[in-house]
Structure 1
Amino acid sequence: MNKLSYRLIHLLIGWGTVGLIYQFNSLLQAKATLLHPSKIDQLIPFTPYAIWPYLSFFIIIPVSFLSAPLHRVRWMTVCFMLTSLIAGSIYLFFPTSMLSAAPIGSSIHAQLLGALMSVDTENNCLPSLHVALTLIVVLGYINQKQKLKSILMALWGSVICLSVLFLKRHLFLDLVSGACLAIVVGAGVYYGLKRMNNAATLNRHGGR
């Protein structure tokens, strides 16, 4: 298997798992607990232009899977699977919602936001999967040998995470919980894969 095929297969498995769990939850929507904005949320103005960085989420993921250091690809895939499973379980057993800002006018921003709201589910506020997956691919991409590209990727990911607040798709609590979920899962998967690799190395050496 060449490197490109390896990357594409992992992208399909990781992102495909997210999609399946997301759709499964949308079929089992229960009455959600309404979350109220905090003082921080009240200070953030509704900004329709934030739809562009928000939607660039669907670009940053394949970009990272196709260009991140090869040894990080497996890590990102497992993180995607576990993160979506944990978040999906929370959405199922503790669904949360919020009052979203309605799009006004006929601008392309309003039309895109309206289309987004028409297909999005209403029980998946906390934690923000948008933020969690973005943070995972940013961490997976960062490379000491490519500092400028890593900085640009980190800035891109930061703008995406902030866009969920300015677009009023999530609350600050959702952002923080999504980031915490990504960090906890990321660390757990890292040490889990490291132990598996060490055990495999010992078995190979022991079999000689």
Structure 2
Amino acid sequence: MKIILFRLGQMLLGWGFVGVIYSSTDRWQGAGKLISPSAIDRWIPFSPAAIWLYLSFFILIPLGYLLAPIHRVKWLATAMQLTALGAGAIYLLWPTTMAYPVDSGTGASSDVLAALIGVDSPQNCLPSLHMALTVLAVWALSDWKRKLRTAFFVVWAVAIAVSILQLRRHLFVDLACGALLALLAGWLALRIKGARRYAVKGDAG
């Protein structure tokens, strides 16, 4: 039970911090600069049905905290906090937006997409935190001794990335920048973790 509470507490510190930064910067930023779609964005057709894969992100992130090796859980929380700080700074200094398609569908997918649009920010596009956190969760879950499980999570992450583009919630450049930000934040979190371990050993010595 203590381990579960520890994992949930770290999820609150990491993922919860992302939510605070995301919502705060949305209120404080100015008008966003319109980003034009690339050839890749134009090649992938808009599809409201992608909403279900898109929302599976909200399953993948908790799994990152609940199933990752215990020694990676604090790292994951720290990496998410650093990612949020980096993205938040960009949102405030260079806010961005995009041209969103109008969905005239009437099915369940369209209804859920409409609900998402009602609560999501029309800005905070670049970098994509949806992509960044997906990368970090899969990083935490990856284990090359368990190749099949790792491949499953990688394929899931790729599917989420495609669904983001299909829904036109972000453009390809947003996803690329989000993934890059995640890699930089993850590397920095590893450095911080290593520095802390060194400091503790030094104090003990």
TM-score category, normalised to shorter length:
over 0.9
- The residue that corresponds to 1:197 in the other structure is 197
- The residue that corresponds to 2:101 in the other structure is 101
User: Partners of 1:93 and 1:118 in 2: how far apart?
Assistant: 25
Q: What CA deviation, in whole Å up to 9, does each residue of 1:80-100 have, x standing for no partner?
A: 111011101111121100011
Of all paired residues, the percent bearing the same amino acid is 43
- The residue that corresponds to 1:88 in the other structure is 88
User: Partners of 2:144 and 2:198 in 1: how far apart?
Assistant: 24
Q: What CA deviation, in whole Å up to 9, does each residue of 1:66-109 have, x standing for no partner?
A: 01111110010001111011101111121100011222221011
The code of the aligned residue for 1:22 comes to Y
User: Partners of 2:187 and 2:162 in 1: how far apart?
Assistant: 23
- The residue that corresponds to 1:155 in the other structure is 155
Q: Which moved more, 1:138-147 or 1:110-119?
A: 138-147
Q: Which runs of 5+ in 1 are unaligned?
A: none
1:3-152 aligned at under 5 Å gives the runs: 3-152=3-152
Q: Do the aligned residues in 1 keep the contact of 2:26 with 2:124 (CA within 8 Å)?
A: no
Q: Do the aligned residues in 1 keep the contact of 2:132 with 2:181 (CA within 8 Å)?
A: yes
User: Partners of 1:25 and 1:122 in 2: how far apart?
Assistant: 12
TM-score normalised over the length of structure 2: 0.96
Q: What CA deviation, in whole Å up to 9, does each residue of 1:7-58 have, x standing for no partner?
A: 0100111111011111112222421100011112111111211111111111
User: Partners of 1:89 and 1:73 in 2: how far apart?
Assistant: 25
Aligned-pair Cα RMSD in Å: 1.3
Say if 1:191 and 1:29 are closer, same or farther in 2 by CA, change over 3 A. closer
TM-score normalised over the length of structure 1: 0.94
The code of the aligned residue for 1:58 comes to F
User: Partners of 2:188 and 2:12 in 1: how far apart?
Assistant: 22
Q: What CA deviation, in whole Å up to 9, does each residue of 1:104-131 have, x standing for no partner?
A: 2210111111111111112211000100
Q: Do the aligned residues in 1 keep the contact of 2:80 with 2:185 (CA within 8 Å)?
A: no
Q: What CA deviation, in whole Å up to 9, does each residue of 1:134-164 have, x standing for no partner?
A: 0001001111332221111111111112211
The code of the aligned residue for 1:65 comes to Y
Structure 1 residue ranges, 4+ long, deviating more than 3 angstroms after superposition: none
